[in-house]
A and B are shown apart, each in its own frame.
Chain A
């Protein structure tokens, strides 16, 4: 998963030495080795450790201590006694309570279903759009379209939520007005359990499809143009070229994104749901993260909230680790 970087300098200098005559190459090689040994011994290592102090401290306090703080899921936590103070240990009571909560299974189901739909369509839609963009011959038109469709990615769900609440309103929203002209009755996009998941998935696509095309377009740009020429000579039209050259050329990226998305199956998108939902649609739209917030912070049931969060973190750990394992083992993926 985490590999050592390959030393470029060693391979490069080796090649350079081999180019000249045998004697001079040996001299040069010895000189090179000497120099490298000198460099290695001379540059002290400690400044590198000093540079890492701030990050290690901040990550330790704000990423690792919360992990330690998860022990509050096994306690009857009182804020007054503090995170590091003596708390009453209650074992698995919070988890027992959690699995008996009537809405927990429903929330799990909602989370999995919403996340699954987002992953599936979030992979297909950008792929299709990237292939369509690739067929545009006019680079100017292509660039303008790309610029426009990337924009929603940079606006927050607070702002998009404000816009969506306005335009999707059944009484005054412009969307229902247009649907009215087509003879379709007002639809309660944000206030009906039949429509809420559809609204979540489609607005997520609206926000992120354009951004998602970047990776595919980059992969398409990396395909050897000779392959297209060969295909043309073999009589393949544009559609056949897409099918037999472009898609096989980017299948590696598709597989990688698919594998990495495994880690997101419990992330239904807190920011989006939180800015769009209301108690009316809890039945279809309440997800783990929103439940943690309401139980843990709004109702101040800290231990129970931490227990729900821990359940999610542990399942995610297994999923993310497996996805990274698969990606590094089979798809030649490297993070650090």
Chain B
């Protein structure tokens, strides 16, 4: 019976002219939309690789004119930029492992049924309430000040742990759909909760761990506001904050160039474009890996049932 209703292969159905017209229009609209997402990035890349003359004359579109690496040479020789990048890598190096451990050991108990954790309901409300209400910017700043984190790298790491509540939900939902028989067998064999978490759950949770690792790393790379308010000295600020500062101040880069040989191959626009592109580069590089996981992750986390 079911075979009777099987759809024939699409190629054997003769498409109507209206259908073909729609299909062409649809392709055009979607491809133009996709191009719109890429064109600004390509333009910035082209500007960063062009000579200052054509850039000032607005002749650079999507392809560099008067190709030169000078802007990038200036960026990699710029101690402020490099220091900011170092701060960014340091914060990611500290925050990602800490956040992962933090999230996993919190998600595990919360994924348990009430028979294993009688006070589960209370804990869940404790975390859930932070999704409903927050103290807001000023009191949060005062707490970071009161705990002595201002102008230390920990100001960018520890308060950020509170952002992990979303990832916790992701992980605990993943834990919950693992087969119960595995952990029950482990309990019967005498394993405790730590053993079950690290020997049974985690080896099975690579996809969700990969997802939250990448999410956390990208969030920390992009985060700029905490660097701006918690760091009083520019040398403590991460790259995103540094980029924001140079974009806002409109200072002439040529005044700050030590390497005199670069001056005629560089102007504000090309130097800025190069810095923007370098800051975006890590995201563009991890993006293909990110993409393998995030669709699944976001669906698990946001809408279920």
Report whether chain A binds chain B: yes
- Would A253 and B303 be within 8 Å (CB), given that A66-B143, A132-B30, A309-B137 are in contact? yes
Count residues on chain B whose CB falls below 8 Å from chain A CBs: 117
A129–B158 CB distance below 8 A: no
B132–A70 CB distance below 8 A: no
Contact of A55 among B35, B102, B120, B188 (CB under 8 A): B102
CA distance A62 to B139 in the complex (A): 10
Asked if A69 is at the interface (CB within 8 A of a chain B CB), the reply is yes
User: Most chain-B CB neighbours within 10 Å: which of A43, A68, A334?
Assistant: A43
**Additional A-B contacts beyond A58-B161, A158-B244, A302-B138 (18; CB < 8 A):** A1-B128, A7-B180, A9-B180, A45-B117, A48-B193, A51-B109, A56-B123, A136-B30, A147-B291, A151-B37, A154-B283, A162-B276, A166-B44, A206-B36, A253-B303, A271-B225, A313-B135, A321-B132
Chain B, residues 22-60, CB within 8 Å of chain A (1/0): the string is 110011011101111110110110010000000010100
Chain A, residues 325-336, CB within 8 Å of chain B (1/0): the string is 000000011111
CB contact list, B108-124 vs A, under 8 A: 108-121, 123-124
Residue of B nearest to A47 (CB): B193
Return chain A residues, CB-CB under 8 Å to B202: none
CA distance A59 to B165 in the complex (A): 9
CA distance A64 to B221 in the complex (A): 26
B218–A154 CB distance below 8 A: yes
B123–A52 CB distance below 8 A: yes
Contact of B247 among A59, A162, A229 (CB under 8 A): A162
CB contact list, A308-327 vs B, under 8 A: 309-310, 312-313, 316-317, 320-321, 324
User: Most chain-A CB neighbours within 10 Å: which of B142, B187, B225?
Assistant: B142
Return chain A residues, CB-CB under 8 Å to B302: 215
How many chain A residues sit at the interface, stated as a range, is: 35 or more
Asked if B304 is at the interface (CB within 8 A of a chain A CB), the reply is yes
B299–A215 CB distance below 8 A: yes
Rounded to whole Å, the gap between the CB of B42 and the closest CB of chain A is 11
Residue of B nearest to A229 (CB): B5
A296–B137 CB distance below 8 A: yes
The interface of chain B, by Cβ under 8 A from chain A, is 5-7, 10, 16, 19, 22-23, 26-27, 29-31, 33-38, 40-41, 43-44, 47, 56, 58, 61, 102, 105-106, 108-121, 123-128, 130-147, 158-159, 161-162, 165, 168-169, 172, 176, 180-181, 184, 187-188, 192-194, 197, 218, 221-225, 229, 240-241, 243-244, 247, 269, 272-273, 276, 279-280, 283-284, 287, 290-291, 294-295, 298-299, 302-305
A306–B276 CB distance below 8 A: no
A292–B138 CB distance below 8 A: yes
B181–A9 CB distance below 8 A: yes
A54–B106 CB distance below 8 A: yes
CA distance A229 to B1 in the complex (A): 13
25 sample A-B contacts, Cβ–Cβ < 8 Å, listed by A number: A44-B193, A48-B117, A54-B106, A55-B106, A59-B162, A61-B147, A62-B158, A63-B130, A63-B135, A66-B134, A72-B138, A79-B145, A135-B22, A145-B30, A145-B33, A148-B38, A150-B291, A156-B221, A156-B240, A162-B44, A162-B272, A172-B56, A218-B299, A238-B22, A253-B303
